[in-house]
Amino acid sequence: MGRFGLVITLYIAIYGGMTWLVLSSLVRVLALRGIAVWICNMWGALMVVSPLLLRRWDGLGHSELRHIAAWIAYVWMGFVFFAFCLLLLFFVFRILFWRRRVALSDLGLKCCSSIALFLAFLCCLLGYSQAWDIKVNYIKVETAKLPPEWPYVRVAQISDIHLGLIVREDRLKKIVEAIEASSSHLVVSTGDLVDGQMDGRQKEIDLLQSLSAPLGKFAVTGNHEVYAGLNQATSFIEECGFQVIRNEVLNLAPLLLAGVDDDDIKMAESFSPSEQNLLSSLSPHRFRLFLKHRPIVMEDSIDFFDLQLSGHVHGGQMWPFTLVTRAVYPMGTGLHRLKNEVMLYVTSGAGTWGPPMRFLAAPEVAIIDIVNSETAKK
């Protein structure tokens, strides 16, 4: 079994199990019998395979129909996630009560399940609301490497917008408005700008084209650019007015800008240049801004950049999944001082993937002010 087959098998096993537990609780609460139980089972099976069918359906047209189908499938996914976590929590409490020889009656189990399902519904509502509440976070980084004529460089960082079936022009408009209000010198996208086929997305293209920045707009690839089809994804990003940086260095007036492809580029291309070789060519006397999708810092690269901007983790997107992302990527959302003056900023991203929800993981547009420390002293 290849990597793809293993991923699909794990997905069906995990999500199918979660869906079965939630629907079993729903059947118990509503006291369903006969054909109603059969309908629930068919619904669960359809919801489990729907994300796979939507991917298979990608690029075949019927955009509005796919949009509605995606909303149903991914809102259900969010509900299942919250309900599963709450039911699991009640199960743990039940084990604790059992050890204390306190048995829960059938009525008690129904009450617990009802509370869990209702709280999951409330979490979905709150999560949807938070997904639209895009924060603008300002971060200050001092350096002595900027030219005297540049007291500061303002960089607007967007990441993980996931334009596609769920995130469309209405959400993108809020993001663009936040960037425009910041008067940034430079706009960068640290991956996963797209999530699927982007044919017929003229409204999104027009919005991103309207963004202007004196030093330009630049982007690196994320894993979802690879999944969506690398060529069509990069073509769309370039049509939006961004220059895609693929393992290269650009000499901008106040700083050097470097960017690398996401690790999953190996799924589309056989050759991937060395990150260390790319960064080691940068002058240590210039400020070196490094764009990389995943918040992973290579030990042999840490001496060759001043600030790395990354995304990918979404801040966990929906707590308690935050605990999982933090375990996989220890350097989570926020500013991290790595070594001497070397820093990493990880944004929580501005969009959503899967469920159109954010729960205790606010979406953001990051505005990074790289301040000339010599000028600041005057």
96 shares its domain with 207: no
The three-point CA angle 343-346-350 to 5° equals: 150
37 shares its domain with 108: yes
64 shares its domain with 185: no
Look at phi and psi of residue 345 and say left if phi exceeds 0, alpha if psi is from -120 to 50, else beta.
beta
CA 238 to chain centre: 21
Q: What are phi and psi of 219, to 5 degrees?
A: -145, 150
DSSP 103: P
pLDDT attached to residue 257:
98
What is the chain's length? 378
Q: Among the three residues 112, 131, 150, which one is the final residue of a domain in this structure? A: 131
125 shares its domain with 240: no
pLDDT attached to residue 128:
97
At 339, is the secondary structure helix, strand, or coil? strand
71 shares its domain with 159: no
Q: How far is CA 292 from CA 42, 53, 219, 347, 350, in A?
A: 42, 31, 10, 12, 16
Number of structural domains in the chain: 2
Q: What is the DSSP string of 82-110?
A: HHHHHHHHHHHHHHHHHHTT-PPPHHHHH
pLDDT attached to residue 94:
73
pLDDT attached to residue 59:
61
Q: Among the three residues 115, 131, 147, which one is the final residue of a domain in this structure? A: 131
292 shares its domain with 361: yes
The Cα–Cα gap between 1 and 208 comes to 41
Please compute Rg for the chain using Cα positions.
Answer: 23
126 shares its domain with 176: no
99 shares its domain with 150: no
209 shares its domain with 263: yes
189 shares its domain with 327: yes
pLDDT along the chain (378 residues), means of 10: 77 94 92 92 95 78 78 97 94 70 66 92 97 96 94 97 92 96 97 85 93 96 91 94 96 96 83 84 95 94 96 96 93 91 96 96 97 73
Are 145 and 286 in contact, with CB atoms under 8 Å apart? yes
Q: What is the CATH number of the domain that holds 178?
A: 3.60.21.10
Domain that holds residue 156: 135-377
What the block records as the tokens of 89 is: 């929590």
Q: Among the three residues 78, 112, 131, which one is the final residue of a domain in this structure? A: 131
91 shares its domain with 235: no
262 shares its domain with 316: yes
